[in-house]
Amino acid sequence: MPHTRRESPDGSGPVDRDRQVRLLGLGLLHGLLDAKTIAAVAEEPNPIETLQHRGLLDPVDVTALVRILESESSPSGQPASFWAGLEAPPPPASSGRGRQAPWDSLPAAGSPSGGSGRQVLRALTLPAWKHYRDLRFLAEGGMGRVFKAYDPSLKRAVALKFLRRDDPHMAARFVQEAQHQAMVEHPRICRVYEVGEWEGQSYIAMQYVEGETLDAAIPRLSLTEKVQVMEAVAEAIHTAHHARLIHRDLKPANIMVARRGDALEATILDFGLAKGLDAEGLTQHGLAMGSVHYMAPEQVRGHHDRINRRTDVYGLGATLHKALTGEAPFAAFEGIEVFRRTVETDVPPLQRLVPDLPGDLDTLTRKCLEKDPARRYDSALAVAEDLRRWREGEPILARKPTLPYLAQKWARRHKLVVAVAGVALLGLLVLGGLALGTASSAWARVRHAQHFGQEAERIEALLRYSHLLPPHDVRPELHQARTRMAALEKEARQAGRLATSPADYALGRGHLALGDHEQARERLEAAWSSGLHTPEVSLALGRALAATYQRALDLARALPSKELREARERELARDLRDPAMARLKEGASAALEAPAYHEALIAFMGGQWEMAQVKAREAVAATPWLFEAKRLEGEALLARARALQDPKAALPLLEQAEAVFREARQLGPSDPATALGLVQVLSERTNLELTSGGRAEDVLARCRQAVAVARTLRPDEGRAPAHLARALTLWADLQPPLEAATAEAYQEASRLSAEALALGPEDPAIQAIRIPILVIVATKYLRPRGLDPLSAYSEAQALAREAQRRHPQEPLFTAILASTCMRRMTWETNAGTPPWATFEEGLTQALLLRNRFPDFIGGFLALASLWVERAEYERLHGLDPRPSVAAALEASAGARARGLRPRNPGWTEGDAHLIQGQYLLATQGSGEGDFIQSVEGYQRALQANPNLLQAHDSMAEAILGRAQERLERGQDPYPFLKEAEGHLTRVPGRPVSPGQTNHLRGMTALLRGRQRLAQGLDPGPDWRQAVAAFREAAKTAGHAKAQAGEAEVWARAYRHRGRPQDRTQALAAARRAIEQDSQRAEAWLWIAVVEQEAARRGRREAEGPARAAWAKALAIDANLRRTALSLGMP
């Protein structure tokens, strides 16, 4: 029966299903596709074409795969290099390879389901590669894909592992894995036969291991069999250690088990994270690598310099824990909580999970899992020997923790109790002759607590006196305080473990005085965890938590929606506010300030801001020098203002807050926190003055003065200039975009935020200001001036990724990164740059937001917006945007299904239907239904938000689509042209997007002239008006599409009148568009129209340029074919 055939996407003739399947297999082999993606398209009539339409495979990639396939039957018998005959590989940012359409429901890799099974199996096999035969896909992981293959030269099955060709760093690790694994010769370690690169493809040929993973085998193994397996694994790991190789990722999934008769054979796989003890440079310092439930504490902490053979002993213990109990250590927890417990919490006895488990196996396993590597088995061989002893009925060498050891651990958690007990034991010593060491230890603790507490008070006093002095640079006092703290820490180390808790408490208080709240919290929590449960520790810890909460709350306020802010605030209340209030209440008796100040702090934390104001004033009345109380009053006023929805109601509170902070500054002239608080108030006031329609120049001037004072006190602190940068950006954003003052404000904001980031590169508050400024500068300053915004967008994305990595608990950076990707996609679409990489990153971030906060409307809107931007790019570059439009509409429908209402309802639907209407008009001649739905969506958005001026532009664009459709059908477009003009005249003299507004005015005049021409009238006046509007649009926004619009006017004029100057103008405008965007298909189209008309009028030399321009236009955007044919394309 013949195969189904139709035209191939590369124009090479009818589609051959076998050929398509082999191309898919080659794509998998070379890392261009994954198994799930192939499963999704395997039953498509032309899967290669489908993958190209979805942006999952490049034409360049298809060409290369075809060359390889064709070369398999060449006389040499050698497959072509993947890049043979091509100028260069496509850049990673634009390749689109290996991407998966998110709307597809996909089976597990290598496990076909549904009706596509047969085709998937065929696609996941290859007849030959290099000298290997019968390749069959097995699995894929983070670094590569694995195939089973047959090596005919040695007549054996092998496992071939191919690297995803993404990253040079990954390639180095891939080769390193093979080198490490090849260093070890042991029957229980998977052997490496060959490693290399063939025709640009890195690979490893390894032993093919039959069987199943230990993970899968555990339920069917007896207790003795589990011990036998782990004994063999431990012996094999000892051999690797002897070869100076640490595995670092031991877990049941990396151990294969096979039954040979009555015997079990275990084989260790995957040395992908292995570390040679002499290796350097391939592991990023501070990055925890491994599988979370099986990672040793030193791995979790990112202390890679401390990883040694005992790290693998921990992995053996964690794997043994899973084998014996069916659960990994801390299996009930996920994510960060696993890390915390791995570092802080002892693994509970295994007999709690399996009551009849032999005690020696419990002891053996928990010795492997000790937090302190020195208390684990010294080697993997020692583990194997103890497992053998248990199996043979001999006593194991591991012992349960001794009573003195347990007592020491208990004492570290309850030092004050021990100290009190020590006093009592001293009496017993006199009476009963107990050991002198016990009393000595108790007295030592008392002395340490007294000494370190006094030193903490000295550091606090030093800094407080500094803050009471006239304004001056406080860095010398800060340096002196930190020097004292370093000496204190050194002294504590020398004093030994009895000094640890008192030192942690003292250092925590010192960090609190320095304003290092995270470090303070860490130290004070350590003191508290060690059992130092005193009112003093409670008070200090409560204040550290309160300060951390306020910092995190500031970040939450920068989130882009009320719903997301409220969701994050609930998290912070649970994790920080509530514990802070509990500790503050427990520590009330230790407060040395006026009681009213402590009450004010508790009221402030509880959101009772008016009560906090009252109590703060009482505290100042009782102790007039307490500038902290006056500062707290100002913070309460600022919090009240931020909580109000009405800017006009909030402004009087900010005016009061400004006055209160100035009073606080008089009381503590050199207090950096007070100076920064005043800057924050003035930055917030600038925002609200502008939002309420007022002018903010006076407030900005005062903000500058406040920043100057803050920088006098702390020249090394970046938050004050960052807040000024934010205020300047807010001001510039509402000014005429091309005025000199606007440009100066953007430039100053960019400079100040860059300086701030240099001072505090890890400060999330500064990062949260710098990143949006970069995006706004790129969008509102660089792009309207025709300048390249790529570096600004790229820096914003890089900073957002780094901030997200450092502060994974903060959703702000996920939201900022998603927003940055959306802005960059808009620019890439307009510039003709493939946006696939940006889209994938934005989609990932939007999904993270939606999944973490399922009732956050912004997550759905971000998804919808990304799909809309993707659809627009597809429409302009010859692709079918309808699947992306459907995904955008699906995201909007998902929000409605959860009862979520966006601020601008209907906006996304308007954009999606507009794009679909324009596509259908271009390809089928009819998009009216979508244009109607588009206008309806924009109308809903405008009704909900009358200030949404962009809606008028967007409605005009949709209505112009209907006018164009009427015109092309020979009907009267005048009613729609008039309606579109009406919307454009409603945009004030200072439109939000002047380039877009003028471009649409040009399109309206162009269509009006075309209608007059169709009626036999002179289109000249309308077309002159169109040219003026397009030129204004190009001048304002630097839009290539405006240049292409002007080219269309002159091209149609040349066809109508035949004047040489019209041809010259058309070609000049089109070439200007191409200079800005070489992928602007309409510009090439109008060159083709003009040159063909010139050839028709006798200019034979124009025939060649006309043919080339037609080809170029359609190569860029195949959706223009219908338009080209209507314009006379041969």
Q: What is the pLDDT of residue 1064?
A: 95
At residue 463, the pLDDT reads: 84
Alpha helices, H only, 644-777: 647-667, 672-691, 697-713, 719-733, 740-759, 764-776
- What's the pLDDT tens digit per position in 1042-1085? 999 999 999 999 999 999 999 999 999 999 999 888 888 999 99
Checking if the pLDDT of 8 tops 50, the result is no
Closest CA to 383 of 404, 363, 357, 412: 363
Q: Is the pLDDT of residue 137 over 90?
A: no
Q: What is the pLDDT of residue 431?
A: 38
Distance CA 5, CA 529 (A): 72
Q: Residue 383: its pLDDT value, please? A: 96
Determine the average pLDDT of the residues in 180-204.
79
Q: Between 426 and 370, whose confidence is greater?
A: 370
Q: What is the DSSP letter of 577?
A: I
Please give the residue that has the higher pLDDT: either 372 or 115.
372
For residue range 581-599, list pLDDT tens digits in order: 999 999 888 887 778 999 9
Q: Measured between alpha carbons, how far is 1007 from 1010 in angstroms, rounded to an integer?
A: 5
Q: What is the DSSP letter of 189?
A: B
The predicted model gives 733-751 an average pLDDT of 89
More confident residue, 451 or 1067: 1067
What Rg value do the Cα atoms of the chain yield, rounded?
A: 35
What is the rounded average pLDDT of the residues 821-827?
89
| 1-10, 100-109, 760-769, 1104-1113: least confident range | 100-109
Q: Among residues 413, 402, 329, which one has the least CA distance to residue 371?
A: 329
pLDDT attached to residue 68:
67
pLDDT band at residue 118 under the 50/70/90 scheme: very low
List 192's β-bridge partners, or say none: 206
Q: What are the pLDDT digits (tens) for 17-35?
A: 677 777 777 776 665 676 6
Cα–Cα dist 398/406, whole Å: 16
pLDDT tens-digit series, residues 1083-1125:
999 999 999 999 999 999 999 999 999 999 999 999 999 998 9
Please tell me the class of the 593-715 domain: mainly alpha
Residues 471-495, mean pLDDT to the nearest whole number: 90
Instruction: Report the chain's mean pLDDT, rounded to a whole number.
Output: 82
pLDDT at position 91: 32
* Range of 24-28, 36-40, 582-586, 828-832 with top mean pLDDT: 582-586
Give the residue, 1080 or 286, on which the prediction is more confident.
1080
Torsional class of 266: left (φ above 0), alpha (ψ -120 to 50), beta (otherwise): beta
pLDDT at 555 over 90: no
Respond yes or no: is residue 249 known to be catalytic.
yes
Residue with tokens 């990023």: 284
Question: Residues near 564 by Cβ (< 8 Å), separated by ≥ 6?
Answer: 811, 815, 849, 853, 856, 858
Which tokens go with 391? 């199996």
Q: Residue 288: its pLDDT value, please?
A: 39
Q: State the SS3 of 502-570.
A: HHHHHHHHHHHHHCCHHHHHHHHHHHHHCCCCCHHHHHHHHHHHHHHHHHHHHHHHCCCCHHHHHHHHH
Among 58, 61, 151, 249, which one carries the catalytic annotation?
249
Q: Rounded to whole angstroms, how far apart are CA atoms 540 and 853?
A: 33
Q: What is the pLDDT of residue 660?
A: 96
Condensed to tens digits (0 to 9), the pLDDT of residues 621-648 reads 887 778 999 999 999 999 999 988 788 8
pLDDT of residue 980: 92
Rounded CA gap, 1126 and 1124, in Å? 5
Q: Which carries the bigger pLDDT value, residue 924 or residue 1036?
A: 924
What pLDDT shows up at residue 228?
A: 95
Query: Which pLDDT does position 448 carry in this prediction?
Result: 74
Tell me what pLDDT residue 171 has. Answer: 64
The answer on pLDDT for 1004 being more than 50 is yes
DSSP code string of 440-463 = HHHHHHHHHHHHHHHHHHHHHHHH
Query: Domain 214-257+288-400 maps to which CATH number in 3.10.105.10, 3.20.20.70, 3.30.1330.60, 1.10.510.10?
Result: 1.10.510.10
Q: How far is CA 27 from CA 66, 148, 1039, in A?
A: 10, 17, 38
As a whole number of Å, the end-to-end CA separation of the chain is 39
Kindly report which listed range (332-346, 423-437, 516-530) carries the lowest average pLDDT score.
423-437
Read off the pLDDT of each residue in 771-778 and give the average, rounded to a whole number.
94
DSSP code of 901? -
- For residues 197 and 502, what is the distance between their CA atoms, to the nearest angstrom? 59
Which pLDDT belongs to residue 899? 84
Residue 379: what pLDDT?
Answer: 94
Q: What is the mean pLDDT of residues 217-239?
A: 94
The Cα 1115–Cα 1107 span in angstroms is 12
C-alpha span between 648 and 1128 (Å, rounded): 61
The residue-averaged pLDDT of 447-462 equals 78
> Of 87-91, 278-282, 827-831, which range is least confident?
87-91
Q: What confidence category does residue 409 fall into, taking pLDDT thresholds of 50, 70 and 90?
A: very low
Of the candidate ranges 440-444, 445-449, 478-482, 656-660, the one whose mean pLDDT is the lowest = 440-444
Q: Are 388 and 398 in contact (CB under 8 A)?
A: no
CA atoms within 13 A on the CB side of 45: 8
The DSSP bridge partners found for residue 201 are: 198
Query: Which of 106-115, 214-223, 499-508, 1023-1032 has the least mean pLDDT?
Result: 106-115
| Spatial separation of the C-alpha atoms in residues 718 and 701, rounded to whole Å | 19
Q: What is the mean pLDDT of residues 963-967?
A: 94
Asked whether the predicted pLDDT for residue 920 surpasses 90, the reply is: yes
